[in-house]
Structure 1
Amino acid sequence: MKLSFVDVRYKERVVLPESFLSQLPKTVLLFLNIQFHHQYDDLKRQLEAAGIAVKTARPKHAWHDGQVLGCSTEKWDVAQEAFVYVGDGRFHPTAFLFNNDQPVYVYDPKTEKSRVLGKEEIADVIKGRKAGLATFYASKRIGVLITTKYGQQRLKPAQRLQERFPDKTFYLLLGDTIDFSKLEDFPFIESYINTACPRISDDFSKVPRPVVNIEEIEELKMKW
């Protein structure tokens, strides 16, 4: 089956209000989601006209500089004092909080409201990930969640787990969409490793067993 990915663009011009601009520090890293990204250059000029230096970066898997994906949890170090996110929703801007200490200034063009996000926004998710890692230590039977989706499929790292952790048994669960309700069919599994989008573990409350991302397992193995 062939798939076509079509960008949907927000039609109205986004103008950053003075009340938002006046909150910002002098150096920011600007990101937009795909619906607003065609206005990136215009928004950059608006920030610069307000005396704000704008840094640009491209996350892994993104098509454009300054485009944010939900899985864009990389650590950024381009001398930014804060992140600026222009777009709707909470999912995309919280991605910056996982591996960065700077706050995220959010402006939603649809509601015309702004807010500042800090580490407290992801506190519950971090606790859930720590619980997943602790359970992984103790588990013998582990399910490995693998997606066939473009850009998220990581079959080879999943296949290497058995070699790297010979005292554990790994069950590879492969599919296009990961349906948490279907995991109830595997009651013998003690914990899960997620190899797809790392933000899946944000919904840890929907998974019947603790879940940890494969990136955390790979880092753990290196420390050993």
Structure 2
Amino acid sequence: MRVMHIHAKSTIDIRMPEEVLETLPSQRWGVVTTIQHEHKLSDILSQLRSALPAGQVLGCNAVAAQEVKDKVDGWLFVGSGVFHPIQVALKTGQKVWLWNPSTREFGILDEDLVEKFRAQKQGELSRFLHAKRVGIIVSTKIGQKNLVRALELSRKKDKEYYVFAVDELDMRRFEDFNFIDFWVNTACPRISDERSGMVNIDDLIDAGILKLEKEPMAYEVPIWKSSMGLKR
């Protein structure tokens, strides 16, 4: 199936009104946004003259923020919703302020919500340790395939591992494999937000639970570990 990707640029004014600017704390700001507003980021930078423009982030990819987090004290996210800024908060450990230019709403990302995500991840790591039969999810989509890493995990002897390759992931189908105690996701890391009993393979590595033998360049580089698809 052929796919055409069209860059739909927002035409709305993303500048913050004076009453919002007056509430911003004095600190070293980093600014991130989504692709719809990236071309207008200079309008925000003209209002926050000392701010550092990190650029575009995705819900699964905050590399742009991670690379410069030591140069800023907090973040301003320009866009809608909390899906993207939660990833920025999780990956940088810093507070994120939210400016929605469409609704003209301003606020700060709820730290309790961020902590809920962290606590959920810790709980799933513990469940993985106690599981005996583990299903490994591999996506066949471009930018999400992580097959080499999945196969290396499947060869470990500490548990029974089963590899499941999918293009479209339907959460309801998990019920067909009730012999699986726990799932390891090697595809988009935000998939695990939607289901308990699942952890991302990168979370296992970051926690020191799993150590893979190959050098990093031996693996496919998925979109959430690179600048693929990002405007910087």
- Name which of 194, 199, 211 aligns with 1:203: 194
Structure 2 unpaired stretches of 5+: 213-232
Task: Say whether residues 1:67 and 2:56 are aligned partners.
Answer: yes
Amino acid paired to 1:67: Q
Partner of 1:114: 106
CA displacement at 1:200 relative to structure 2: 1.6
In structure 2, C-alpha distance between the alignment counterparts of 1:33 and 1:185, rounded to whole Å: 37
Contact 2:138 2:147 in 1 (8 A): yes
Tell me what 2:14 maps to. 14
1:193 to 169, 180, 184: 184
User: 1:138 is aligned with what amino acid?
Assistant: H
Which structure's relative contact order is higher, taking Cα pairs within 8 Å and 6+ residues apart? 2
What is the rounded CA distance, in whole Å, between the counterparts of 2:5 and 2:186 in structure 1?
23
1:78-157 alignment runs, 5 A limit: 78-157=70-149
Residue by residue over 1:99-154, the C-alpha shift from the partner in whole angstroms, topping out at 9 and shown as x without a partner, is 32321011001110111115312222222212211111111211112212222211
Alignment of 1:214 with 2:201, yes or no, is: yes
**Superposed displacement of residue 30, structure 1:** 0.7
- 2:133, 2:160 within 8 Å by CA — same for their partners in 1? yes
1:182 matched to 2:182? The reply is no
- TM-score scaled by length of structure 1: 0.84
Name the structure 2 match of 1:33. Answer: 34
Structure 1: runs of 5+ lacking an equivalent: 58-65
> Is the contact between residue 96 and residue 104 of structure 1 (CA under 8 Å) also seen in structure 2?
yes
Residue 153 of structure 1 contacts residue 196 of structure 1 at CA under 8 Å; is this kept in 2? yes
| In 1, Cα distance between equivalents of 2:4 and 2:186 | 24
Equivalent residue number for residue 158 of structure 2:
167
| TM-score normalised by length of structure 2 | 0.82
| Secondary structure at the counterpart of residue 69 of structure 1 | coil
Amino acid at match of 2:198: V
Report the aligned-residue RMSD.
1.9
**Paired residues, what number?**
206
Q: Deviations over 1:130-183 (max 9, x none)?
A: 2211111111211112212222211111111023x3121221121122211111
Q: Percent identity?
A: 31
